[in-house]
Structure 1
Amino acid sequence: MTETKIVLNNGVDMPAIGLGVFQTPPEATTDAVTEALRVGYRHIDTAAAYLNEREVGEGIRRSGIDRDDIFLETKVWISDYGYDATLHAFDKSAAKLGVERIDLLILHQALPSRFDLTLDAYRALEQLLADGKVRAIGVSNFMPEHLDGLLNATDVVPAVNQIELHPYFQQPAVQKADTEHGIVTQAWSPIGGITSYRDAPKSTFQDPTLLEIARQHGKSAAQVMLRWHLQHGRSVIPKSTKPARIAENFDVFDFELTREQIAAIDALDTGVRGGPDPDSITLETFGRDIPEA
């Protein structure tokens, strides 16, 4: 099984599929990471705000796989925005992860209500990149106007923009802006798990179109969705703590969707966001202290 890699805009190779650990309890994180690495994943995505970086680091060490063979991604939370605070956020994350260098460090939210802090935080990422403490830098949940504001005030184009993206919510305007600037779009909730709760009217896992395409390939709906992302050139970070699901989500390199099947999935977009609107993220409503290492 050969994993697809994506070359970022600074020449760094990033495995296209990573294990996500959003909302994975710390006590389950280490085993999930170790299992994913055993299966063949070489990309792990976490965040300071997930409060499980320490367990991610432990899972990496227990795997026995050389650190240089693993692409490690984490995020700075809004409470640590600002130049000096973000430099310290790197120190906290690196210490919890037990590493000296992070492969991809990104800003978790655009924080438009205090974009001055966002810009200072990104300038800190630029410094960390220049110092060799990170291999690539990026953003998450940035809309086109946020990207424009960032690019007009900073020097390094983000390598990645991680956004909510699945068949029911495809954010074409954000994808277009990312492509125009040479930014890789990375999908969180890539198989639409977020459509399965919050009283969503329907779930991607029961979608007739996806189930029929899955039947044609002898695959699951989740595998079809992940393959759809990969054929569009996107990175994906599906989350699971179940060994069978972790393995299933990685088993997507032995089939290919037809042009017609891709078009059918593209047509499923509802335009309805499942996660919070990026403009609703403020320090007052979402600020939280990120513990020291």
Structure 2
Amino acid sequence: MRSALEIGYRHIDTATLYGNEADVGRAVKDSGLEREQVFITTKLRPQDARHARRTLESSLRLLDSGYVDLWLIHWPTGRDELVSTWQELLAAKSDGLVRNVGVSNYSPALLDTLTEATGQRPAVNQIPWSPAQHDPGLLEEHRRRGVVVEGYSGLKNTDLRDPVLTEIAQRHDATPAQVVLRWHLEHDIVILPRSSRPERIAANFDLERFDLTKDDITAIDALSRAG
């Protein structure tokens, strides 16, 4: 994480489930950056829904921060707790403990359930996204609702040896991983690349030096198995 912050990353995504919130807090502290310069996301496990505020307060202590920039429900709770859990997140935002609130692994129908019950929609839905999972219809469903899509496991769920990706990568003097991450950005999907190797962390950040053509994007879109 310190390597990532040194390279220029400014968003760290963690969760209660990951068990590394204290490490995130220490990395941000050791980086010398001001807290406001780093966007921190953490997530609430559904099994902690009945004591959501206590869980958030624990996260804040571990992160050594007075707030988080984004707090998500990690995956849908049971039907009976769906709305009440969302109300807990909204209350935490009203109290200044979180700047933004959202969800992860929710369907458009569940997004509507939360919005209709409270009048406030999730800012973000963090869902798996990759060329193989690309679903233009689902993306449009989120855009129509004004919900940002954050894509996770984009590299993990991709065959980086696919000839379509290797050919495009060669043409742009890039790696297949860089091509996949750039493709996410072309679709305005927030990316969450993960690596423990500093050289790959650096490569995953180096996406501004090339653009994909419309034909490149169409070819990658065609790798989709969605629908």
Task: Classify the secondary structure of the residue corresponding to 2:100.
Answer: strand
Alpha-carbon separation, structure 1, partners of 2:97 and 2:53: 10
**CA contact 2:111–2:121 (8 Å) conserved in 1:** no
Instruction: Kindly provide the amino acid, as one letter, of the partner of residue 29 in structure 2.
Output: R
Partner of residue 133, structure 2: 169
**How far is the alpha carbon of 1:87 from its aligned partner?**
1.2
| 1:116 correspondence with 2:71 | no
Percent same amino acid at aligned positions?
39
RCO comparison, higher one (Cα < 8 Å, 6+): 1
| 1:101 correspondence with 2:67 | yes
Alpha-carbon separation, structure 1, partners of 2:209 and 2:125: 27
| 1:77 correspondence with 2:45 | yes
Alpha-carbon separation, structure 2, partners of 1:108 and 1:188: 12
Instruction: Kindly provide the amino acid, as one letter, of the partner of residue 105 in structure 1.
Output: W
Instruction: Kindly provide the amino acid, as one letter, of the partner of residue 53 in structure 2.
Output: L
Task: Classify the secondary structure of the residue corresponding to 2:193.
Answer: coil
**How far is the alpha carbon of 1:176 from its aligned partner?**
2.0
| 1:57 correspondence with 2:25 | yes
Higher share of residues assigned helix: 2
Structure 1 stretches of at least 4 aligned residues deviating more than 4 Å after TM superposition: none
Deviations 1:17-57 (A, max 9, x none): xxxxxxxxxxxxxxxx1110000000000010011111111
Provide structure 1 residue ranges, at least 5 long, that are not aligned to the other structure. 1-32, 196-202, 273-293
Partner of residue 224, structure 1: 179
Partner of residue 2, structure 2: 34
Provide structure 2 residue ranges, at least 5 long, that are not aligned to the other structure. none
Residues 137-152 of structure 1 aligned to structure 2 (within 5 Å) = 137-152=101-116
Residues 1-293 of structure 1 aligned to structure 2 (within 5 Å) = 33-82=1-50, 85-111=51-77, 114-191=78-155, 193=156, 195=157, 203-271=158-226
TM-score when scaled to structure 1? Answer: 0.75
Instruction: Kindly provide the amino acid, as one letter, of the partner of residue 126 in structure 1.
Output: L
Alpha-carbon separation, structure 2, partners of 1:152 and 1:100: 30
**CA contact 2:114–2:120 (8 Å) conserved in 1:** no
Alpha-carbon separation, structure 2, partners of 1:51 and 1:104: 17
Instruction: Kindly provide the amino acid, as one letter, of the partner of residue 67 in structure 1.
Output: R
TM-score when scaled to structure 2? Answer: 0.96
Q: How many residues of Structure 1 are paired with residues of Structure 2 in the alignment? A: 227
**CA contact 1:81–1:118 (8 Å) conserved in 2:** no
Task: Classify the secondary structure of the residue corresponding to 2:160.
Answer: helix
Alpha-carbon separation, structure 1, partners of 2:76 and 2:135: 16
Deviations 1:49-82 (A, max 9, x none): 0111111111111111111100000100111113
Q: CA RMSD in A?
A: 1.3
Alpha-carbon separation, structure 2, partners of 1:171 and 1:95: 38
